[in-house]
Amino acid sequence: MNTTKTRKMDKDIMQKPSRSKLRREIARHRSVYLLALIPLIYYIIFKYVPIWNAQIAFRDFMAVRGVTGSEWIGLENFRTFVNSFYFWSLIRNTVMYSVGKLVISLPLSIILAICIYECTRPGLRKVVQTLAYLPHFLSWVIMYGILLALLAPGDGVVNDVIKMAGGKSIDFLSNVKTFPWVVLFSDAWKEMGWSAIIFIAALMGIDVSLFEAAMVEGANSWQRVKYITLPAIMPVIVTVLILKLGTILDAGFNQIFMLYSPQVYSVADIIDTWVYRQGLLEFEFGLATAVGLFKGVFGMILVLFANWLSKRLTDSSLF
């Protein structure tokens, strides 16, 4: 009995210094913890609390009855979505745009970051950075106006050039063959500069002496990029790739919604635009929530699989 009490006392004595040390560390870095508190509160209010309402996906939700008062229908909303006539075309279009944006935007962002990093003229670097970042801060409403001025079939700049060359004008935004390319490259134009920021930050962490040693050994610019720059930022590239795979079913609602029209529904309609029409216009809130939950679970599974695969094949992983 005395031995048990002695052990308890020893345990309490050992815990007290650790607790006081923790308090001192928190007090020492209180400004950092206060800054972290802001996003924590945001996520609690807007991300975790609404999880309670995710049960709408399993109910025949009616606003007058509330969440818990609505009839429980199990997986019926999920079956409605999967058995929809548009299901496979929605999945195809969504994955096509998501993967296409990833394949086009990610390499372009890396190339832009390396070009900015390698630039030896500070003035030119600032101008390029500003011009590359600027489109990110423009809404898709403004971007649509710019694209319309460039691609309009009547007096668009691009079509004027085509007609001057002896060709026929093309209605890029209403043509099922050209619309996907407009979506992919306009997204790359808008987000490429902003996405490059994280890679520029990673490049800044490379030891400059590595480049100096490579230059002494006679390595040219391409060899320095191939054997020093890319391997050094590979963990960051892998991390960004894994995180983007988690949002593979988010093809960009704002962009598609602004650019598409009934003429191109066959190649433009994605999960989010369909949910908008069904959930908000047709008041099928349970169905819209079920699709959102489906996307979230699918994205989580994809992130876990991509992280496992990256860990098996490379030395880099997200966790």
Please give the pLDDT value at position 41.
92
Give the SS3 label for residue 28: helix
Distance, in Å, from the CA atom of 315 to the CA atom of 308, rounded to the nearest integer, reads 11
Q: For the chain, how big is the Rg over CA atoms in Å?
A: 26
What's the pLDDT tens digit per position in 86-143? Answer: 888 888 999 899 899 989 988 999 999 998 888 888 888 889 888 888 899 988 999 9
Question: Quick one: pLDDT at residue 17?
Answer: 58
CA dist., res. 61 & res. 80, Å (int): 14
- In the chain, what percentage of residues exceed pLDDT 90? 10
* pLDDT reading at 14 higher than 70: no
Question: Which residues does residue 62 pair with via DSSP β-bridges, in sequence order?
Answer: 66
d(CA 83, CA 20): 59
Averaged pLDDT score across all residues of the chain: 84
| Nearest residue to 257 (alpha-carbon basis) of 191, 183, 308 | 183
**Encoded amino acid at 101, one letter:** K
Alpha helix ranges (H) inside the chain: 2-28, 30-43, 66-69, 76-82, 87-118, 122-133, 140-151, 157-164, 179-204, 208-216, 221-224, 230-245, 253-259, 265-268, 271-275, 285-313
Distance CA 158, CA 155 (A): 9
182's CB contacts (< 8 A; 6+ apart) are: 147, 151, 172, 173, 259
Q: Contact at 8 Å (CB) between 229 and 203?
A: yes
Phi-psi category of residue 66: left, alpha or beta, with phi > 0 → left and psi -120 to 50 → alpha:
left
- Give the per-residue pLDDT at 153: 81
Predicted TM-score (pTM) of the model is 0.79
pLDDT beyond 50 at 257: yes
- The most confident of the ranges 139-153, 240-254, 270-284 is 139-153
Q: At residue 70, does pLDDT exceed 70? A: yes
CB hemisphere CA count around 101 (13 angstroms): 26
**90 close to 269: Cβ distance less than 8 angstroms:** yes
Residue 1 has pLDDT above 50, yes or no: no
Amino acid letter for position 315: D
On the 0-12 / 13-18 / 19+ scale of CB atoms within 10 A, 137 is exposed
Q: If you ran DSSP here, which 8-state letter would residue 177 be given?
A: T
Q: How far apart are CA 63 and CA 6, in angstroms?
A: 61
Q: Residue 107 is which amino acid?
A: P
Residue 284: per-residue pLDDT: 84
Output the pLDDT for position 80: 87
* CA geometry: angle 45, 50, 54, nearest 5 deg: 165
Asked if residue 12 has pLDDT above 60, the reply is no
Give, in order, the Cα–Cα distances in Å from 262 to each of 90, 145, 259, 266. Answer: 14, 19, 11, 8
Give the pLDDT band of residue 180 (cuts 50, 70, 90).
Answer: very high
Q: How confident is the model at residue 318 (pLDDT cuts 50, 70, 90)?
A: low
Predicted pLDDT of residue 182 = 92
